[in-house]
Amino acid sequence: MRAPLIKVLHLVHAFQTGGAEHVVLNLIEHGSPDVRNFVCSLTGPNDLAMQPPMRGVPFRCLGKRPGNDPAVVPTLARIIDECGIDVVHSQGWGTYLEGLVAAKLLARTRPAFIFAFHGKSVLEAQRGMPLRQRLAQRAACWFTDAYVAPADGMAADYARSIGCRRERIHVIYNGVDTARFGAGAGAAVRESLGIGTGEFVVGFVGRLDPVKDIRGLVQAFSILLRSRECSAVTARLLVIGEGQELPAAQRAAADLGVRDRVVFAGRRTDVHRCMAAMDVYLQPSLYEGHSLTLLEAMASGLPVVSTAVGGTPEVVVSARNGYLHRPGDYAAMASSLMALCGSPSLRRTLGESARTTVAERFSIAPMVSGYERLYRELHEAREHRCAA
């Protein structure tokens, strides 16, 4: 007997390039026919709405004005009722309260409600969650049917932050399509960017946001360039992405005298090909959730040098598939880059182990099945309540 169709509304702040938003795309692209996905953003930009997986998927942008916009919540409740939504999946704090009020107080259908905790801003990582936000989320616990975090450490951190029980939070690890990564036209990408075949390429992919410590990325690379290990080879830093930190990163590269060695390639849709052009992946973030780009780099067979923050230590094991360091310790990061620069065999060994880690623990199928299992459980519980 075929399972009943479940309608899931993914609520995002803006449907643009980011980890949570790509999780939504993956759930749509790789999901089962028993789950029909809808996407609603509060505001723009919404460049991901034009991606191929979104063909045929209902999408709405509510055009939320800056600050509190009272028109958003009733409009969202109307969409929930008109589409017959069974589960509202709120992707991050920026959609939590609007989604919760619309789903649980205004919508006639009273769908199940999931809140997904994906990470922190740089201020939250440094100072903790603001008191008003913490109290609001603690109060919202009474109406939230389920919580999801993409790593054990993140689940424990969120439970401590808002004062909810840890067992209420489901851990569903992010997953990536391993068939898409690991093989690509790296030589063609290098040629198009003016990078030589024999150059040692340190890569980064992501939104250029303060929490990613892009200036620290440039600083660690500059230390590598001054090292003896790098003297025999030409090294490049390849930065894929856009964001508010780009001007600061460009200034840092100029100030450190490495501007001609850094390629700021902007936003790319062929990330798998760009990663095939890299030798090592460097991620010096001040905080990370469960980084999709880190998983993609590992699936591409790249050894990673990263900070031991958020969910990263549940993926990267030092000296086995990469190296972990404290945030801000650029000398230590550069030391790991030096070791990898000087030893192609070490890069190959750690890179193969990295790809195996992702294939065995962080592929896309377990992630999709984990979310869809939760959707079904909440849908069945809701049906039972309605029948009672």
pLDDT for 309-327, tens place per residue?
999 999 999 999 999 999 9
Q: Which domains does the chain have, with CATH numbers?
A: 6-175+364-387 (3.40.50.2000), 186-361 (3.40.50.2000)
Question: CA-to-CA distance for 181 and 296, rounded, in angstroms?
Answer: 7
Angle of CA points 205, 209, 211, to nearest 5°: 100
Instruction: Name 8's bridge partners.
Output: 37, 87
Q: Which of 34, 36, 37 is CA-nearest to residue 1?
A: 34
Residue for token pair 């479940």: 6
Query: Torsion-angle region of residue 266: left (phi > 0), alpha (psi -120 to 50) or beta?
Result: left
pLDDT score recorded for residue 233 = 74
Work out the pLDDT band at 328, boundaries 50, 70, 90.
very high
Q: What is the DSSP track for 68-94? A: --TTHHHHHHHHHHHHT-SEEEEESHH
- d(C-alpha 216, C-alpha 333), whole Å: 10
Q: Residue 388 pLDDT more than 60?
A: no
Q: How many CB atoms lie within 10 A of CB 183?
A: 12
Q: Average pLDDT, whole number, for the chain?
A: 93
Structure tokens at 365: 């199928």
Contacts of 305 (CB under 8 A, 6+ apart): 220, 280, 281, 282, 283, 322, 323, 325, 333, 336, 337, 340
The pLDDT of residue 228 is 76
3: left (phi over 0), alpha (psi -120 to 50) or beta: beta
* DSSP three-state, residue 212: helix
Q: What is the mean pLDDT of residues 285-289?
A: 93
> Within 13 Å and on the Cβ side, how many CA atoms surround 382?
21
Please say whether the beta carbons of 178 and 211 come within 8 A. no
Residue 17 makes CB contacts below 8 A (sequence gap 6+) with: 47, 48, 207, 241, 242, 267
Q: How would you list the strands of the sheet with 304-307, edge to edge?
A: 262-266, 235-240, 200-205, 280-283, 304-307, 322-325
Give residue for tokens 């450190």. Answer: 256
Q: Give the N- to C-terminal CA distance of the chain in Å, as an integer.
A: 24
pLDDT in tens, 64-120: 988 878 889 999 999 999 999 999 999 998 899 999 999 999 999 999 999 999 988
What are the angstrom distances between the C-alpha of 87 and each of 58, 144, 201, 296, 315?
A: 15, 11, 44, 29, 30
Token code pair at residue 262: 């850094």
- This prediction has a pTM of 0.92
Query: pLDDT confidence of 2, banded at 50, 70, 90?
Result: low
